[in-house]
Chain A
Amino acid sequence: MAEQENPAELVDLKLRVNGVTRSLRLEPRVSLLDALREHLGLTGTKKGCNQGACGACTVHVNGVRINSCLALAIMHQQDDITTIEGLAQGEALHPMQQAFIDHEGLQCGYCTPGQIMSGVACVREGHAQSDAQTREWMSGNVCRCGCYNGIVEAVRSVREAQG
């Protein structure tokens, strides 16, 4: 949420999110997370700790997962950004989304978009070769409900389905 005191110059910028280029007028201090949620209405990406510790805000930038809370929107104008809203093909869920449902990888669901974005990246990176490796490479995403076993099963099922 932008602070009101000491307003800075607003800057015109464009962000390419889920394949669509969107125009924005923002202060330089606006994070990529806030730009997505507050200014583009893409509220699937969640704000948890806002300090890079919980992973709820994980998005893909040029195919690579990052914490959007520690990214400044103004610094990502040349990039392809993918959020949880960009994973499904119409009504067809991404396999990782379906796997989280099938394996009960969510309880309250607040961490789920970040977990799914990390899970997709984890498989793509080749870091889901074993459950132990999956746990290590998913450790940047915290679930307070304790759904970790379901999450590991979901990631494993997608990796196995891809061979």
Chain B
Amino acid sequence: MRNFAYEAARMPGDAVMAVAQDTGARFIAGGTTLVDLMRVNVEAPSKLVDINGLPLKGITALPGGGVRIGALARMSEVAEHPLVVQGFPAVSQALLASASPQLRNKASIGGNLLQRTRCPYFRDLALPCNKREPGTGCSAIGGENKMQAVLGTSDSCIATYAGDMAVAMVALDAVVRVRGPRGDRTVNLVDLHVVPGDTPQRETVLAPEDLILAVDLPAAPHAARSHYLKVRDRASYEFAVTSAATGLDVQGGRIRAARVALGGVGTKPWRSPEAEALLVGQAPTREAFGAAAQAALRGARGYSQNAFKIPLAQRTLIRALELAAGGPA
């Protein structure tokens, strides 16, 4: 690990200015991704600005039944918080399916949204990677790509967004509250991450000095009946091969509102408005779910080892829709 300067910030504005004034500076909260990447020299910040002293830890009810989750709330706290468990079960389920208890106790919500890919080439300094070193090439496209993305890929990068929580949150219309040098703004979570295109090193719309303050989850019937289903190579403590977050509001035998997002298959948390549009107005049947799954994976591109993810993701989504509908368990 390269050396760095360290400072602990006391107020959000101080933290933003400290990073804005040093192009090599980075915020650190839980550090479970950043310290790991620093140890293999993929990240080498000149300064760490410790934000753990900032007053951003609360989990509070919003008017109308929503919840505001402070950026420094820990994954473990959010996973078992009653407001989240009752109003947004998919978020709780996604968190409990993430990482290990030790990591969930350390990792923050803001940091989890920004966790980096687990593409092995991104972590290996000996091999080309356009995300780590733009212009060097992508080792995954013609290499080991079983775990890589099939949606949102480009000729520059097929790295998967590895997280679970953001997939559930993007399905449930989460809004990210951000403080930058010029003040506060909100970003819809669906717009926070960007597809790689020919600039895979740029993963979000945030600048390094933009500090995530909180994530807001708006209450809705489909959110209270949401589900997160994760398919992986072993039962626990493993990244998704495919996953699906679903939310359904079914009344009078018809779907009034539907939410669909996929994980493990996209270069970003992958919401599918196409699948949602097909579901609204339909009866919650296997046929309707199948059509939605077809639509959600339309345009997917399989590579040498991961084409199996396309039918697997469709089946994962059908099952997650059945679970959200309260259908056959």
Residues of A within 8 A of B (CB): 3, 6-9, 11, 27-29, 31, 50-52, 55, 58, 64-67, 70-72, 74-75, 118, 121-122, 125, 127, 135-137, 139-141
Asked whether B6 lies within 8 Å of A118 as measured between CB atoms, the reply is no
Question: Bound state CA distance, A125 and B99, in angstroms?
Answer: 17
Question: Bound state CA distance, A6 and B46, in angstroms?
Answer: 12
Question: Bound state CA distance, A130 and B274, in angstroms?
Answer: 42
What bracket does the count of chain B residues touching chain A fall in?
20 to 34
Q: For chain B, residues 79 to 134, give those with C-beta under 8 angstroms from any C-beta of chain A.
A: 99-103, 105-106
Question: Bound state CA distance, A122 and B3, in angstroms?
Answer: 35
Tell me whether B181 is interfacial, beta carbon within 8 Å.
no
Asked whether A140 lies within 8 Å of B3 as measured between CB atoms, the reply is no
Instruction: List residues of chain A with CB within 8 A of the CB of B36.
Output: 51-52, 70
Instruction: List residues of chain B with CB within 8 A of the CB of A71.
Output: 31, 35, 106
Asked whether A64 lies within 8 Å of B105 as measured between CB atoms, the reply is yes
How many Å from the CB of A51 to the closest CB on chain B?
5
Instruction: List residues of chain A with CB within 8 A of the CB of B32.
Output: 52, 67, 70
Asked whether B100 lies within 8 Å of A8 as measured between CB atoms, the reply is no
22 of the cross-chain contacts (CB-CB < 8 Å) are A28-B5, A29-B2, A29-B3, A50-B39, A51-B36, A51-B39, A52-B102, A55-B100, A55-B102, A64-B76, A65-B105, A66-B106, A67-B102, A67-B103, A71-B35, A72-B48, A74-B6, A74-B50, A75-B52, A118-B101, A122-B101, A136-B235
- B8-32: CB near A (< 8 Å → 1, else 0) gives 0000000000000000000010011
Instruction: List residues of chain B with CB within 8 A of the CB of A125.
Output: 101
How many Å from the CB of B101 to the closest CB on chain A?
5
Return the chain B residue nearest A125 by Cβ. B101
Asked whether A136 lies within 8 Å of B3 as measured between CB atoms, the reply is no
Tell me whether B308 is interfacial, beta carbon within 8 Å.
no
Question: Bound state CA distance, A137 and B97, in angstroms?
Answer: 11
15 additional contacts (CB under 8 A) given A65-B102, A140-B237: A6-B3, A9-B5, A51-B36, A52-B32, A52-B102, A52-B103, A65-B101, A65-B105, A70-B36, A70-B106, A74-B6, A74-B50, A125-B101, A139-B100, A139-B235
Interface centre among B4, B38, B101 (most CB of A within 10 A): B101
Instruction: List residues of chain B with CB within 8 A of the CB of A67.
Output: 32, 100, 102-103, 106
How many Å from the CB of B3 to the closest CB on chain A?
3
Instruction: List residues of chain A with CB within 8 A of the CB of B2.
Output: 6, 29
Question: Bound state CA distance, A144 and B229, in angstroms?
Answer: 29
Asked whether A8 lies within 8 Å of B236 as measured between CB atoms, the reply is no
Residues of B within 8 A of A (CB): 1-6, 28, 31-32, 35-36, 38-40, 48, 50, 52, 76, 99-103, 105-106, 235-237
Question: Bound state CA distance, A44 and B5, in angstroms?
Answer: 30
Given A8-B4, A52-B36, A74-B6, verify A127-B101 contact (CB < 8 Å). yes
Return the chain A residue nearest B238 by Cβ. A139
Return the chain B residue nearest A3 by Cβ. B1
Q: Which of A31, A135, A136, A140 contacts B102 (CB 8 A)?
A: A140
Given A136-B236, A139-B236, A140-B102, verify A28-B35 contact (CB < 8 Å). no
Instruction: List residues of chain A with CB within 8 A of the CB of B40.
Output: 51
Asked whether B3 lies within 8 Å of A27 as measured between CB atoms, the reply is yes
Question: Bound state CA distance, A66 and B3, in angstroms?
Answer: 23
Given A11-B6, A28-B4, A139-B237, verify A70-B35 contact (CB < 8 Å). yes
How many Å from the CB of B115 to the closest CB on chain A?
12
Instruction: List residues of chain A with CB within 8 A of the CB of B102.
Output: 52, 55, 58, 65-67, 118, 140
